[in-house]
Amino acid sequence: MENFTFENPTKLIFGKGTISRLATEIAPEKRIMVCYGGGSAKRNGVYQQVKDALKDHFSIEFWGIEPNPDYDTVMKAVALARQNDIDYLVAVGGGSVIDATKFIAHAIPYDGEDPWQLAIHNELITRSTPLAVVLTLPATGSEMNHRGVLSRRRTKEKVSFITPFSFPRFSILDPEVTYTLPRKQLSNGIVDSFMHIMEQYMTTTGNSVLMDRWAEGALLSLIEIGPKVLEHPTDYDTMANFMLCTTMALNGFVGMGVPQDWATHRIGYELTILYGLDHAETLAVVFPALLTILKEQKKEKLAQYAERVWHIQDGNTDQKADKAIEKTVTFFRQMGLRTRMSEYGIPAEAVDIIYQRLKKSGAVYGEKKNVDAEMARAIFAQSL
C-alpha cells in the first residue's frame, strides 16, 4: 500500500426536504451569491426552495453557467461578486455549476493579473471564498471533493484543478430534486461515477484488500442500480442510492493508498473541447479502447474485476480480461451511451489532430505515466 494523507472536511446533508437547511448552515451576516446553470432549477422548484431558505440572508444570483463551464462566464460571476462584496457562495446544480463556483471562489480574492493561471498552477490558490452546494445532478462527486474542471473555449483548453480550497463547506443532497433529470443526464451520471471508481481501481492487483473490495462493492451497486435509475427515475430509494454512490465514487474514500489511472478522463477532455461530447460520453468511448491497448499491463486486475464484479470464472487470465472488457462495453451501451468515436460522427482525422495537441502539451497520464501522445493515438485509433 502506498503512503497517503486523507482529509475530507465537507459536511454532507442528505435526504428529503433538506434544502431548507441553507437557512441555518450559513451565518446570518454572510453576503451570499447563489450560482445557477441555464434554468432547470427554476423549472423544477429547486430555485424556490433555495430562495425560501435564504429569505433572511442577503443574497444575489448569478445565472448562465453552461455545461463544461467556460472561463469567460465564470469571470463575469467573479466581477459581480466583487461588486457586491460577496463572502459566501452557493452552487445550485451539477458538476458544471459546482466546478465553476469553485473557481469563482478562488478567483474572488486573487489579486494576480491573470486568474486563468489559478487553473493551471494550482499552488497559486492560497485562499478562497467559502462555498456550499445544493446538488441537482448525481454524477461527478464534485459536491464532496477538491477537484474542479474548467474549459476555455477561446483557446480550446479544458483543464482540471485540484486544491484543498475547493472542498465545499457543506453539500445538500436531496434525491427528490433528481426526478426531473433528462434520461441522457442519468446515463451520463451512471457511467461517469462508474468510471470514477475504475480510475482508482483498474491498475494493478494487491495494493489494498479493503480498497479493492470497496471499489468492487461500489461497481456492483452501480450495475444493480443503473437499470433501475433509467426505469424508475422518480423512485426515492433508487435515486437516493444512486446519489450516494456517485458521491462516494469520487470523494477520496476509494483511493486510499492505491495507484490511480485517470488517463481516460484526461485524454477524454479532448473529445469534449474539440467535438462537443458530454464528459461521460468521452469516457464510454475512450475506456474500452484504453483497456484493449493496455491489456497486458492491466491483465491481472482485469481478471480480478471479471471474477468479482462480472462473476466470470471460466477461462484463463487473458480470456477473463477480454470478457471483462466486453462486459464493460455492454454495460455502457445498456446505460444508453455509445462507445465508438464514429458513432458520434467524429472523423478518422481526429486521431491525428488529438495526437498533435497532446504531443505539444507533453503531458503523460496513467498509473505508469506511459499514456503519452503516441499511446493516446493508439487508443483513439482503437476507439474509431
Interface residue list for ligand NZQ (CB under 6 A): 37-41, 44, 67-68, 93-97, 99, 136-137, 139-142, 145, 147-149, 177-178, 180-181, 185, 188, 192, 250, 265, 279
Nearer to ligand NZQ, 177 or 375 (CB): 177
Nearer to ligand NZQ, 132 or 321 (CB): 132
In the complex, the smallest distance separating the C-beta of residue 324 from ligand NZQ, rounded to whole angstroms, is 22
Choose among ligand NZQ, Zn ion, none what residue 168 binds, the Cβ cut-off being 5 to 8 Å by kind.
none
How far apart (Å, rounded) are the C-alpha atoms in residues 320 and 313? 8
Nearer to ligand NZQ, 95 or 366 (CB): 95
Pattern 168-207, Zn ion, x by CB under 5 A: ------------------------x---------------
Cβ–Cβ < 8 Å for 22, 172: yes
Choose among Zn ion, ligand NZQ, none what residue 107 binds, the Cβ cut-off being 5 to 8 Å by kind.
none
Q: Exposure string (b/e) for 337-355, b if CB count within 10 Å is 16 or more?
A: bebebeeeebeeebbeebb
Choose among ligand NZQ, Zn ion, none what residue 226 binds, the Cβ cut-off being 5 to 8 Å by kind.
none
Choose among ligand NZQ, Zn ion, none what residue 350 binds, the Cβ cut-off being 5 to 8 Å by kind.
none
Choose among ligand NZQ, Zn ion, none what residue 176 binds, the Cβ cut-off being 5 to 8 Å by kind.
none
How far apart (Å, rounded) are the C-alpha atoms in residues 365 and 264? 9
Among 381, 382, 379, which Cα is nearest to 371's?
Answer: 379
Choose among Zn ion, ligand NZQ, none what residue 70 binds, the Cβ cut-off being 5 to 8 Å by kind.
none
Tell me the one-letter amino acid at 170: F
Question: Residues in contact with Zn ion, total (CB under 5 A)?
Answer: 1
Look at residue 171 and give its three-state secondary structure: strand
Nearer to ligand NZQ, 155 or 316 (CB): 155
How far apart (Å, rounded) are the C-alpha atoms in residues 361 and 373? 9
Applying CB under 5 A, does 212 fall inside the site for Zn ion? no
Cβ–Cβ < 8 Å for 52, 148: no
Nearer to Zn ion, 53 or 254 (CB): 254
In the complex, the smallest distance separating the C-beta of residue 206 from ligand NZQ, rounded to whole angstroms, is 26
Choose among Zn ion, ligand NZQ, none what residue 40 binds, the Cβ cut-off being 5 to 8 Å by kind.
ligand NZQ
Contacts of 149 (CB under 8 A, 6+ apart): 68, 69, 95, 99, 158, 159, 160, 161, 269, 279
In the complex, the smallest distance separating the C-beta of residue 45 from ligand NZQ, rounded to whole angstroms, is 10
How far apart (Å, rounded) are the C-alpha atoms in residues 267 and 277? 13
In the complex, the smallest distance separating the C-beta of residue 243 from ligand NZQ, rounded to whole angstroms, is 11
CA distances from 60 to 55, 57, 84, 94, 329 (A): 11, 10, 8, 20, 45
- Output phi, psi for 371, to 5 deg: -90, 85
Nearer to Zn ion, 49 or 264 (CB): 264
- The alpha-carbon radius of gyration of the chain (Å, integer) is 20
- Tell me how crowded residue 163 is: count the other CB atoms within 10 A of its CB: 18
Name the residues that contact Zn ion, by CB under 5 A: 192
